[in-house]
A and B are shown apart, each in its own frame.
Chain A
Amino acid sequence: MSKDNSEYLIERHDNVYEVVIGLEVHAQVTSNSKLFSSSSTKFGAEPNTQVSLVDAAFPGMLPVINEFCVKQAIKTGIGLRAQINKKSVFDRKNYFYADLPQGYQISQFKYPIVGEGKVVLDMPNGQKEVGIERLHLEQDAGKSIHDIDPQNTLVDLNRSGVALMEIVSKPDLRSPDEVSTYIKKLRSIMRYLGTCDGNMQEGSLRADVNVSVRLKDSKELGTRCEIKNVNSIKFMQMAINYEANRQVDLIEEGKSIDQETRLFDTKKNETRSMRSKEDAHDYRYFPDPDLLPLEVTDEFIENLKKDIPELPDDKKKRFIDEFKISAYEATILVSDIDTAKYFEEVVAKMGKNLDIKLAVNWITGELFAVLNNKNLEISQSPISAKNLAKLVNLIKNGTISGKIAKTIFELMMDGDKDPQIIVEEKGLKQESDPKALEVLIDKIINDNREKAIEYKNGKEKLFGFFVGQAMKVSGGKANPQLINEILKKKL
């Protein structure tokens, strides 16, 4: 496999293959109750405690649609710059499985609520547009647990009936990296909108990955295989890598590729065929006769548009224009709504003293390092935006040095302490009185006459020695800039 900087290609002998990937992302809608019933959607409840008669498909039970879920789907469509279909239809997708109590899933087949749209990805070598085919609403299934009882499968229907948005991309993705960026972008947009929390560990976001290969520059699409229910980006990338190579190997051997559904085995890191060939599903889609076509007015959609917050792409543009930061920095800051919110709060709290560069560096540098280390989300940051803003201000107005700030930063983590208080309690105020510093430096030079002479004679490296000494003697509190200036003067 060869991988140059911008393209993901697979080479075998003289043939160069590219990989064509399409994703079907299933995003759980953030809502209090389910799509067609009034049961709770909260994660982590005891088995079968959030199941109503409708969810369990008892005789005579009927679906009634949750208006909020419809709004969430439309808002997501707006975030994907997609066409909103004023009329859409719910269809039944018929198949049998233990966690599908009705024996069918209520979904949308022919007339989905959202049509074509697009997502823009920030890739290292520029922007890439990924087309969205459609978004539709459907019911989630329950959970089948195979590994508790050796003879039987246990079924928990808590998740049965929760609203899902299925977002289908066009086959525009070409590499595991693009897939990762796409998922993250999609996730970010939905988190900005509040329509899906994107929590992959809890299963709020899952994807089926369609992979096919073809000779580079070929216009034809190869036979694709669907890898179902991959629930982490890392696994998606591994699965794509494995599958693409598997397909290329088959082609190189002169064999054909069976169109089939596969699973990613996370222990063996390979994909394997899921269904026996004869059990091909014929879903027999037809419009659900218990539901009428869904119709929304222009007014309904316009009202939702008003509710849309500033989305990542727009926010990024604004950050660049308003704060004069780089595209790279802006991308990082808007990548998740919580990061953007944190940054905006720091900026707001810094007030007139605003030093954007400092703020950006402290967030993307020190803060991110801590969060990564402790495996925390920024929403769980041990240091609040308010206090980080204070810290940065203290640096900006010279009260403390950057170095001391690092020490204070560590101390702040214990209970989100106010840095001002730490400075006062520990007496960490920077020594910035030039007169006091002159005295201090004079003493150092006096105590190190030989080194002073060596420096004057050309051993420039010794400057660092004197800076170090100044820091040591002052307990780190000397204002480094002033130290530098005074030393330069005196030496």
Chain B
Amino acid sequence: MSDITSQSLTSLVSNIKNKKLSSEEVTKAFVDRSEKSKELNSYITEDFSNAIDKAKKFDDKPNLDLKLPGIPMAVKDLFCTKNIRTTAGSKILENFVPTYESTVTQNIWNEGSILLGKLNCDEFAMGSSNETSFYGNVQNPIDKGLVPGGSSGGSAAAVSGQLTPITIGTDTGGSIRQPASFTGTVGLKPTYGSCSRYGIVAFASSLDQAGPMAQNVEDCALLQEIISTYDDKDSTSIDFKRDQYSKDLTKDIKGKKIGIPKEYRVDGMPKEIEELWKKGIEYAKDCGAEIIDISLPNTSYALPTYYIVAPAEASSNLARYDGVKYGFRAKGENLIDMYEKTRSEGFGAEVQRRIMIGTYVLSSGYYDAYYLKAQKVRKLIKNDFDEAYKKVDAILTPSTPSSAFKIGEKKNDPVSMYLNDIFTVPVNLAGLPAISIPAGHDAAGYPLGLQIIGKAFREQEILNLAYAMEDKINFKNKITDWWIK
């Protein structure tokens, strides 16, 4: 039996179900590896001893009918976990312990999984490199000094570095797909409304979605099945018939029409990305898919639109962090003074920047020119996809405009940082599902990802396409364990 921590989720589940492994063994293995991996700084909060206790309890009375029987899992620190500190990567929630559980994580625990701990992320999910976290940067397991991507950087690093067999992240503008691409892992952002947002610290309500981050497509499909449920505690949750994503997973994609949007071929695109994309197209053809050129004319307006809509919603969502009910509170001479000091000390620079942008674009005199305009452009972007989907079943693009960059390289240039999301953002604006799969390496040997975008509610379709292509691509993640002394 190969090293426990290098097994896939599917393999671990199978081994536990047929009693080849116990939950305690599996949990101890991941705890052990996590403890040796502090240099990655993937975790904000560890719950290791509790995890082992729970694993022992599970083994005492195992329920092997569950889908994640005794499987340990760490999750992004944006999901409220009952009685376990939840910080959202921020100082302002440094000591916040929720008395409630998010729907998505509850679904996971209900299937027998065990919490290992909470994973590092950009503060309030705002960032593309995990460099805005109050709890420090995260190292990409691929190479020292490399960012893992963001905002689900800790999550991506944990999966890639095998500190957890699988995890969940959140994606507002690419925060699952981009770090998946940077770390050589698989990340799925489901259709908006597919997973409940109840209990997830909100960033931008009309864009946020939770999703699985895994080592392979099969594992991803299994977790998606578990976390995607209708929830009446979330008014934006959609009640649609969900497929059995892992059961119905197939590599047969013959005849599927895949669109290649010309507008994604941006100026100054690195040659390697171009090459990767071309290769991806060939792989798709090999699997029997039909390639069709399409146009998404308003693509170049997606990023500016996103940087109006997301900060606007965030500026309002983050107003509740005022030191009154919970979280960090600074001493103030009066109420307003208390608010101002609490928020300027409690929030990091990027969060403050985005709150200011958001406040400005909603303010009197500017609402029409910015927010309203952005919502109109968003309509155009969605229309583009609707039009395209009359001709194709899915769309294939690169996930990111580059491979992982160095820590500190883009920190002082917000706009350059924002450009990371150029391929992922249109998907959130349109509310569509998309998956990033690792598809190759750049000259430095760093992973590069391809993105498959699907029709609304058609996660099965893109999982299948990803499954087929994953097989053809046969990607091997080069993990050297450099951080383990």
**Chain B contacts for A284, CB-based, 8 A:** 316, 359, 362-364, 367
Minimum-distance CB pairs A-B, first 7: A103-B319, A289-B205, A284-B362, A289-B206, A60-B199, A57-B320, A59-B201
Measured in the bound complex, the distance between the Cα atoms of B204 and A251 in whole Å is: 49
A103 close to B316 (CB less than 8 A): yes
**Chain A contacts for B93, CB-based, 8 A:** 59
Interface 0/1 of A70-110, CB less than 8 Å to B: 00000000000000000000001010101001111000000
Measured in the bound complex, the distance between the Cα atoms of B320 and A60 in whole Å is: 11
**Chain B contacts for A94, CB-based, 8 A:** 315-316, 319, 362
B31 in the interface (beta carbon within 8 A): no
Known: A65-B235, A98-B324, A290-B235. A104 touches B319 (CB 8 A): yes
A58 close to B232 (CB less than 8 A): no
For B325, give its contact among A56, A63, A92, A286 (CB under 8 Å): A56
30 contacts between A and B (CB under 8 A): A56-B325, A58-B98, A58-B100, A58-B326, A59-B80, A59-B96, A59-B201, A60-B80, A60-B197, A60-B199, A60-B201, A61-B198, A61-B199, A62-B198, A62-B235, A62-B236, A63-B235, A64-B233, A65-B235, A94-B362, A101-B325, A102-B319, A102-B320, A284-B362, A285-B362, A285-B367, A289-B204, A290-B202, A290-B236, A292-B236
| A: interface residue count bin | 20 to 34
List residues 209-236 of chain B with CB under 8 A from any CB of chain A: 232-236
Known: A59-B88, A60-B102. A101 touches B324 (CB 8 A): yes
A282 close to B363 (CB less than 8 A): yes
Known: A286-B362, A289-B205. A57 touches B235 (CB 8 A): no
A291 close to B320 (CB less than 8 A): no
Known: A94-B316, A284-B359, A286-B362. A59 touches B371 (CB 8 A): no
B235 close to A60 (CB less than 8 A): no
**Chain A contacts for B198, CB-based, 8 A:** 60-62
List residues 260-303 of chain A with CB under 8 A from any CB of chain B: 282, 284-286, 289-292
A215 in the interface (beta carbon within 8 A): no
Distance of A97 from chain B, by nearest CB (Å) = 8
**Chain A contacts for B201, CB-based, 8 A:** 59-60
A53 in the interface (beta carbon within 8 A): yes
Minimal Cβ-Cβ distance residue in A for B312: A286
A155 in the interface (beta carbon within 8 A): yes
**Chain B contacts for A65, CB-based, 8 A:** 235
Measured in the bound complex, the distance between the Cα atoms of B237 and A291 in whole Å is: 10
Question: What residues of chain A have their CB less than 8 Å away from a CB belonging to chain B?
Answer: 53, 56-65, 92, 94, 96, 98, 101-104, 153, 155, 282, 284-286, 289-292
Measured in the bound complex, the distance between the Cα atoms of B88 and A57 in whole Å is: 16
Distance of A55 from chain B, by nearest CB (Å) = 10
A59 close to B86 (CB less than 8 A): yes
Counting residue pairs across A and B whose Cβ atoms lie within 8 Å, the total is 96
Using A58-B325, A60-B80, A94-B362 as known contacts, list a sample of 10 further A-B pairs with CB atoms less than 8 Å apart, ordered by residue number in A: A57-B325, A59-B86, A60-B199, A62-B234, A65-B235, A92-B316, A101-B324, A103-B319, A284-B364, A285-B362
Measured in the bound complex, the distance between the Cα atoms of B102 and A274 in whole Å is: 42
Distance of B443 from chain A, by nearest CB (Å) = 42
Known: A59-B96, A96-B339. A103 touches B313 (CB 8 A): no
Measured in the bound complex, the distance between the Cα atoms of B325 and A53 in whole Å is: 11
A53 close to B100 (CB less than 8 A): yes
Measured in the bound complex, the distance between the Cα atoms of B99 and A196 in whole Å is: 35
Q: Is the interface of A mostly helix, strand, loop or mixed?
A: loop
Minimal Cβ-Cβ distance residue in A for B101: A60
Interface 0/1 of B169-189, CB less than 8 Å to A: 000000000000000000000
Known: A53-B100, A64-B233, A94-B319. A282 touches B324 (CB 8 A): no
B232 close to A64 (CB less than 8 A): yes
Most B CB atoms within 10 A — which of A58, A61, A104, A153?
Answer: A58
Measured in the bound complex, the distance between the Cα atoms of B313 and A29 in whole Å is: 29
Measured in the bound complex, the distance between the Cα atoms of B201 and A186 in whole Å is: 42
Measured in the bound complex, the distance between the Cα atoms of B234 and A290 in whole Å is: 8
Distance of A94 from chain B, by nearest CB (Å) = 6
B335 in the interface (beta carbon within 8 A): yes
List residues 297-348 of chain B with CB under 8 A from any CB of chain A: 312-313, 315-316, 318-320, 322, 324-326, 335-336, 339
B200 in the interface (beta carbon within 8 A): yes
Most A CB atoms within 10 A — which of B200, B322, B371?
Answer: B322
**Chain B contacts for A57, CB-based, 8 A:** 320, 325
**Chain B contacts for A290, CB-based, 8 A:** 202, 205, 235-236
Most B CB atoms within 10 A — which of A101, A282, A289, A292?
Answer: A289
**Chain B contacts for A291, CB-based, 8 A:** 235-236
Measured in the bound complex, the distance between the Cα atoms of B313 and A94 in whole Å is: 11
**Chain A contacts for B88, CB-based, 8 A:** 59
Minimal Cβ-Cβ distance residue in A for B200: A60
B206 close to A103 (CB less than 8 A): no
A153 close to B335 (CB less than 8 A): yes
Distance of A167 from chain B, by nearest CB (Å) = 25
Measured in the bound complex, the distance between the Cα atoms of B338 and A155 in whole Å is: 15
Measured in the bound complex, the distance between the Cα atoms of B325 and A290 in whole Å is: 21
**Chain A contacts for B325, CB-based, 8 A:** 56-58, 101
**Chain A contacts for B322, CB-based, 8 A:** 96, 103
**Chain B contacts for A92, CB-based, 8 A:** 316
**Chain B contacts for A64, CB-based, 8 A:** 232-235
Measured in the bound complex, the distance between the Cα atoms of B313 and A347 in whole Å is: 60
**Chain A contacts for B204, CB-based, 8 A:** 289
Distance of B329 from chain A, by nearest CB (Å) = 12
List residues 89-127 of chain B with CB under 8 A from any CB of chain A: 93, 96, 98-100, 102
Minimal Cβ-Cβ distance residue in B for A56: B325
Minimal Cβ-Cβ distance residue in B for A157: B325
Distance of A450 from chain B, by nearest CB (Å) = 88
Minimal Cβ-Cβ distance residue in A for B197: A62
**Chain B contacts for A63, CB-based, 8 A:** 235
Minimal Cβ-Cβ distance residue in A for B358: A284
**Chain B contacts for A292, CB-based, 8 A:** 235-236
Interface 0/1 of B64-91, CB less than 8 Å to A: 0000000000000000100000101000
B320 close to A101 (CB less than 8 A): yes
Interface 0/1 of B125-154, CB less than 8 Å to A: 000000000000000000000000000000
Measured in the bound complex, the distance between the Cα atoms of B322 and A101 in whole Å is: 8
